[in-house]
Homo-oligomer: A and B are copies of this chain.
């Protein structure tokens, strides 16, 4: 295993090195598409499990809609098709024949889903209607980067319909809160959350809410979005319902999603000079046990003690790395780059003292622990500390790199020197936002609210 590029000197190369060495993904035979390798996909499965539970708690049912969208359906909502059609992959042949109507591979599924909502929604009693799907998406990106921007990616997309604006507002906020909670509790990632400026909203939306994390290179990364779509899609797809007075009304829609980009977010927020650091609540492997021995006699005793330890753990995702062809040093390095939260080392000396050595991935801290004390309970307690430790580190980093300024000049200086988030006054004019972007490459991530009214959050972004 080669070394990683220096995170501080060449962050982009460090990012690619981590992905390669942690065996998360690799480039495929298809331009801009990656292969999710077992360890990378296992992280996505853990994200799915945790978030799927949260989605269901919001009273949302999972469904699955077709991936191919006929051009006539795609074209009905004008702003939406203008935004998305140029980045679509288009099927023109099927079954050996040229098609009478082109089929778009979904770049998102509002169009096909709301065309069906027209059949499902008739009365106020059919509302709210709340569904979600886990699906693959294709967008024709020119510059791609594993996880952060790929031509095909995996995501969940929630779609709901409500009787009025208030219902849609509440749902859009509830989805945003679900993402913020997931980011904080499971990914151990603090985020800024709020509303996007109009020129950065989703094509066809009334407004877009977003969570924004801060990468270690000082760039913002959009981690999840939630849109109040207004009643424009209802108009376009002729969805209507009879309200309690028997009057025909257009429902209000929301949509919200997160994608495999969260894996990229995880890397750029928590990664360090040794590689990935995965928070325990997410980690496919929470604890790795590495046996240390020289003689065959030692090997037998040590492996026996290790497998006893594995058996004693209950409800912990533990792996015993008993590969005989690899040295302990190689294993330490491999599991560090893969970001496993806790390593337990067990060698003849430990065995003599009835101890194990426990090493935290977040801090590198190494402590001896009596074998008898090394229980599910005590290990879970350390895992909780790692979870909290990663969050605290990321939170401190975000706080240290969030600044408030009074002028554009001041902002330009900060963005050139340190990056990070900058709250600055903004007059609401897209032209001034454009000028700032030309000067600094920074865009408006969110609008200020409350005591930040009249300000905007600027940052360079992924």
Contacts and interface: CB of A to CB of B under 8 A. Distances in A.
Interface string A10-41: 00000000000000001011100111111001
A152 interface: yes
A95 interface: yes
A316 interface: no
A138 interface: yes
Interface in A113-137: 115-116, 119, 125, 131, 135-136
B92 A96 contact: no
B116 A66 contact: no
Contacts of A136: 67, 135-136
Given A29-B112, A63-B37, A63-B38, A152 B91 contact: no
Interface residues of A, number: 55
Given A29-B73, A29-B115, A138 B90 contact: no
Given A63-B41, A68-B33, A86 B90 contact: no
B35 A63 contact: yes
A116 B154 CA distance: 20
Given A33-B68, A95-B142, A138-B68, A89 B63 contact: no
B67 A138 contact: yes
Contacts of A86: 95-96
A432 interface: no
A93 B89 contact: yes
A92 B94 CA distance: 11
Contacts of A30: 66, 68-70, 103, 112
Given A30-B103, A73-B29, A116-B29, A140 B94 contact: yes
A152 B67 contact: yes
Contacts of A68: 30, 33, 89, 138, 151-152
10 contacts: A28-B116, A29-B73, A30-B66, A35-B116, A68-B151, A68-B152, A88-B95, A91-B91, A96-B140, A136-B136
